[in-house]
Structures are given as structure tokens and as C-alpha cells.
């Protein structure tokens, strides 16, 4: 057993007082030495946190102790160290940016458990559709899956025409942890697709519970691991080094902060290019120091886990003061 864990989860449930819940949530994480990214929105929760097994267990119990989130599903992975450098608990309009105008609590695609997904993925009448960004599916995807050249879910409407001819098929959407598919599958239903499903718990859960069979490459994740292995049955590498074009499933962020592109780069090219994706980026005056990982943490500015909480309260205080001093219309 490794000394730390990484927890990935989401849950759609109405949250009325997001600011109060955000403060409470933030304090709990600080008290239990948890780091990560958590989004709180009127529609629910979305987060990835990391810490010791004991602290992660306490966090899962804390979230589930709230009746609104008692059925939340956690994807739990082991790791050699805490997978984040900071804690961010933020209030946003959506727990996953989409602008698709759909509500998964009203209608969404049918959930397929990992074992059910495994049974049907080779059915010729089943079409797998990847709802992740281009740089994610270039690193890894299910065999035969349809992918879109999109950078985020907001661009999905621009690509629906690419699968219009498949409306009579059984469409199965998938993503990293399942959250994007809640909205993507709902959007497909709105666009006239009749038989729409989604992999419940996403790629990560499928790998944990079913061994990840038929997932080619690695899965991109949004913490300092960058990419994780999924397939323990028939793994293969589908991505190639951005620089030398040799097979490579090692993902980095370009050392040039102005570029910061996500690309596969092998160890040899990473060292030779000092973590840059091109000679221009290697020569850039603001190139970051490459430590062999290709993962960069922003300047801490004397960061402390309570900093976000204090900043949030300060902003709220400013807003209330502005409201009191605003002239009558």
C-alpha cells in the first residue's frame, strides 16, 4: 500500500448557500491536511483531493454525512506522495464548464456500470464517443472510439454534425471520471439521439474495477501525476513524442509558460529540450526550470492553506461595503 491517496468525485445536488458551504468545506480540508481542487456550485460538487488514507477516509465520511451527498461515488487511487501542492475550494456557476444549458438532474444518459460497459463495448451497434479534450484523448482512448477536435466541453455543439448519422445507434459516452458525460449525454438527448448511455465513474473507475481492458494509452489527470495507467489487461501506447515521433505516453507541459501546451515528450527529448516543445520555446527568456516531470506549480507567494478562505471573505466584505455605499438609482 502506498502512503497517500487521490480521490476523484462529483455529485449533482442543489446547493443553496454555496458561500457558506465553501467556507465549511475549506476549513475541513485544512484541518485534515488535504490538498486539491474542489468546485462548489448551485448544481453540486466536483473535486479531486489528496492526503493520507486516514484523512481521505475522514473526508469521504464528511461529504457523505450530508444527506444531499450521501450517495456520492469516490474513485480512490494510491500514490507515492500528495498529488497537489495547494488547496483550492472555489464557488463557480457550474461544476464542469459546459454552457450547454442542460440539467442532469432532469434528464441524462443511462448509467452503465463498468462491468456492463465491458460487456457491450465490442457490440457493432454500440458507438463509443469520447467527451474529453483533444490533448486528453491523444494520450489515451478506448479502441474504436470517436473523438472530437475540441479543447473543452463548451465546443461540443460545434461537433454534433460529426455524429448526426449515428442517431440510430446505441451511443455510449465516456470521460475521465464521468462528470462531463452527465451533461454531454443530456445534450445528445436534446439533439435527438434516442439511445444514449454513459460510463458511470468514467475511465478511472473502469480501470480500478475491470482492469481497463481495451483502453489504449494512458489517462490524462488534472494533478501532478499528469497521466496514469488504466489498462492492466492489454495495454498499448498510442501517442508519440511531440519532438522525435517515437512511441511515448509520457505527458508534460511545455516549460515555456506562455506556451504551456500539453504534449507527449519522451525522457530523452525532455532532457535535450529542457522541457520545451520547440527550439523557440527552449530559447524563451521566461522558460521554467525543467525538473524531469514537466509539471509546474505557480508561484506560491507565501501560500498557506487558509489563504483562499481569507481572500474569499475579504472579497465578500468588499462587495457588501460597495452595496451599502452605492448611490440610489
User: What is the tens place of the pLDDT at every residue in 271-306?
Assistant: 999 999 999 999 999 999 999 998 887 655 566 677
pLDDT, position 151:
93
pLDDT of residue 312: 61
Long-range contacts, stretch 112-115, CB < 8 angstroms, 24+ apart: 112/172, 112/197, 112/198, 112/199, 112/200, 113/200, 113/201, 114/199, 114/200, 114/201, 114/205, 114/206, 114/209, 114/210, 115/209, 115/210
pTM of the prediction? Answer: 0.88
The confidence score (pLDDT) of residue 5 equals 98
Tell me the pLDDT tens digit for each residue of 223-277: 989 899 999 999 999 999 999 999 999 999 999 999 999 899 999 999 999 999 9
Q: Is the pLDDT assigned to residue 327 strictly greater than 50? A: no
Model confidence band, residue 1 (pLDDT cutoffs 50, 70, 90): confident
**Residue-level pLDDT at 328:** 43
The sign one gets for the Cα dihedral 309, 257, 130, 4 is negative
> Dihedral of the CA atoms 108, 112, 118, 121 (nearest 10)?
-30
Closest CA to 46 of 23, 61, 25: 25
% of the chain at pLDDT higher than 70: 91
Separation between Cα atoms, residue 65 and residue 42, nearest integer Å = 19
How big is the chain, counted in residues? 329
Residue 224: its pLDDT value, please? 87
Cell readout for 234 is 492489454
Q: Which three cell numbers stand for residue 94?
A: 457550474
Q: How does pLDDT run across 56-93, given as a tens digit for each residue? A: 999 999 999 999 999 999 999 999 999 999 999 999 99
Four-residue CA torsion sign, 205, 178, 21, 25? positive
Burial classification of residue 79, based on how many CB atoms lie within 10 Å of its CB (0-12 exposed, 13-18 middle, 19 or more buried): middle
pLDDT in tens, 30-45: 999 999 999 999 999 9
Distance, CA of 207 to CA of 123 (rounded, Å): 20
Question: In the annotation, is 266 catalytic?
Answer: no
Exactly one of 175, 181, 241, 269 is catalytic; name it. 175
Nearest to 187 by CA among 165, 155, 227, 141: 155
pLDDT score at 329: 40
Per residue in 111-129, pLDDT (tens digit) is: 999 999 999 998 999 999 9
Confidence of residue 181 (pLDDT cuts 50, 70, 90): very high
Task: State the pLDDT at residue 313.
Answer: 59
Amino acid at each position: 500500500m502506498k502512503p497517500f491517496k487521490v480521490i476523484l468525485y462529483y455529485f449533482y445536488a442543489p446547493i443553496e448557500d454555496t458561500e457558506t458551504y465553501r467556507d465549511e468545506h475549506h476549513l475541513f480540508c485544512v484541518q485534515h491536511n488535504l490538498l486539491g481542487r474542489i468546485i462548489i456550485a448551485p448544481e453540486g460538487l466536483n473535486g479531486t483531493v489528496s492526503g493520507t488514507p486516514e484523512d481521505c477516509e475522514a473526508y469521504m465520511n464528511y461529504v457523505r454525512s450530508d444527506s444531499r451527498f450521501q450517495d456520492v461515488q469516490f474513485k480512490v487511487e494510491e500514490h507515492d506522495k500528495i498529488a497537489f501542492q495547494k488547496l483550492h475550494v472555489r464557488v463557480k456557476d457550474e461544476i464542469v464548464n459546459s454552457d450547454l444549458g442542460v440539467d442532469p438532474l432532469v434528464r441524462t444518459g443511462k448509467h452503465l456500470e463498468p462491468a456492463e460497459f465491458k460487456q457491450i463495448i465490442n457490440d457493432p451497434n454500440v458507438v463509443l464517443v469520447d467527451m474529453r479534450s483533444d490533448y486528453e484523448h491523444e494520450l489515451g482512448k478506448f479502441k474504436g472510439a470517436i473523438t472530437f477536435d475540441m479543447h473543452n466541453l463548451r465546443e461540443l455543439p460545434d461537433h454534433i454534425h460529426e455524429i448526426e448519422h449515428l442517431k440510430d445507434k446505441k451511443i455510449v459516452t465516456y470521460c475521465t471520471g464521468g462528470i462531463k458525460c452527465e451533461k454531454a449525454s443530456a445534450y445528445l438527448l436534446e439533439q435527438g439521439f434516442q439511445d444514449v448511455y454513459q460510463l458511470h465513474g468514467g475511465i478511472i473507475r473502469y480501470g480500478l474495477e475491470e482492469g481497463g481492458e481495451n483502453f489504449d494509452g494512458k489517462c490524462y489527470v488534472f494533478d501532478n501525476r499528469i497521466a496514469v495507467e488504466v489498462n492492466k489487461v492489454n495495454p498499448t501506447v498510442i501517442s508519440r513524442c511531440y519532438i522525435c515521433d517515437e512511441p511515448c505516453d509520457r505527458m508534460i507541459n511545455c516549460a515555456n509558460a506562455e506556451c504551456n501546451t500539453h504534449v507527449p515528450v519522451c525522457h530523452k527529448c525532455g532532457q535535450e529540450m529542457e522541457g520545451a516543445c520547440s527550439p523557440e520555446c527552449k530559447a524563451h527568456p521566461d522558460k521554467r526550470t525543467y525538473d524531469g516531470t514537466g509539471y509546474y506549480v505557480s508561484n506560491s507567494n507565501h501560500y498557506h492553506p487558509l489563504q483562499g478562505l481569507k481572500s474569499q471573505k475579504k472579497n465578500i466584505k468588499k462587495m457588501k461595503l460597495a452595496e451599502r455605499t452605492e448611490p440610489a438609482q
